[in-house]
Amino acid sequence: MNPLGINLWNWVIRLNEVKIEHINKVSQLGFTAIEFPMTEAWIEASLIERTKTLGLNVSLCAALGQGRDVSNFDPDIRERTLVYLEQCLETASAIGASVLVGPLYAGSGKRHHLPTDEEKREWELAVLGISRLARKARAKGLKLALEPLNRYRTSVVNTSKQVLQLLDDINEDNVGVHYDTFHAAIEEDDILASMEEVLKSGRMYHFHACAANRGAPGKGYLPWKDIFALLKKYNYQGHITMETFLPGGLDSGWVASDENPDQVAASGLAYMRNVMEFL
């Protein structure tokens, strides 16, 4: 079975709020993988040690908010962003992560219409930045997974077709796709067709299972059984990770949930285990 994980955004808003108890809880609930939200580039040594002791598979999710953008026209912002991402690679190596994921090509919240020449330049800067990062990652035995985001978060890469084109232009074999069903539910004409396109390419390196309202997998209107059947059909071997948010976090809703974070985590994991067992 794939490593089944959860991003710690389910319990915290920033990385510096993570405690040993959160690491323990992920394991106690029965997850076999954990994802750290990298609002900062470094994870405390005690958290690294505990994660290793518990034998959890690890992914790191880059947090590219304001001031972090490898395709920005300001060279100082690009360089600071690459320094941050390279520090994340150092952390990934220290904790034994297999992949650094997220919208590595641009800062989240960058939404704009550009003239054709500026749009081309922005794209080329993304290619150059990720190519540099890919070489650093390869030296550490790490993969990068690029996540298309919805239109409210970015104007750079929204769909599977766009991200596959970006991979072609980067042309580094340790760079793949981070597919998130929440974003895909907003942007794709056909979520199953877009997933299959990525899976057929052999370049899906990370997967976020999230309901269309950012709830746990199994909730809402997405065709969950078909989604998991596609992962099985194409023998996807990577992490399947929940990315739910504590109220006040990045994509959390404004309507209060009846479930607390522990219940959200438990229900999502139970669904993922059940659907994978019976496919």
Instruction: For 103-148, write each residue's pLDDT tens digit.
Output: 999 987 899 999 999 999 999 999 999 999 999 999 999 999 999 9
| pLDDT exceeds 80 at position 257 | no
Mean pLDDT of the 176-192 span: 98
User: In sequence order, what DSSP letters do the residues of 12-27 get, joined into one string?
Assistant: -SSGGG--HHHHHHHH
pLDDT of residue 272: 98
Measured between alpha carbons, how far is 46 from 40 in angstroms, rounded to an integer? 16
Q: What is the C-alpha separation between 182 and 150, in angstroms, rounded?
A: 8
**Is the predicted pLDDT of residue 253 greater than 90, yes or no?**
no
Whole-angstrom distance, CA of residue 263 vs CA of residue 245: 13
Does position 70 have pLDDT exceeding 80, yes or no? yes
Q: What is the pLDDT of residue 108?
A: 79
Q: What is the DSSP string of 81-99?
A: HHHHHHHHHHHHHHHT-SE
Is residue 55's pLDDT more than 80? yes
Written as one string, the DSSP assignment of 158-178 is -SHHHHHHHHHHH--TTEEEE
Q: Report the pLDDT value the prediction gives residue 66, as an integer from 0 to 100.
A: 86
In this structure, of 11-15, 61-65, 257-261, the range with the lowest mean pLDDT score is 257-261
**Single-letter amino acid, residue 276:** M
What is the predicted pLDDT for the residue at 249?
85
Distance CA 12, CA 57 (A): 19
Mean pLDDT of 217-224: 96
What number of other Cβ atoms are within 10 A of residue 224's Cβ?
A: 18
Q: Is the pLDDT of residue 254 over 90?
A: no
pLDDT at 165 over 90: yes
Q: What is the pTM of this model?
A: 0.97
Report pLDDT for 278. Answer: 87
Domain 4-278, CATH homologous superfamily name and number: Divalent-metal-dependent TIM barrel enzymes (3.20.20.150)
Which is nearest to 64 in space by CA: 155, 186, 154, 144? 154
pLDDT digits (tens, 9 = 90+) for 94-115: 999 999 999 999 987 899 999 9
Q: Which residue(s) pair with 177 in the sheet? A: 146, 204
**HSE-CB for 96 with a 13 A CA cutoff:** 14
Q: Classify each residue of 49-78 as buried b or exposed e, where b means 16 or more C-beta atoms within 10 Å of its C-beta.
A: ebbeeeebbbbbbbbbeeebbbbbeeeebb
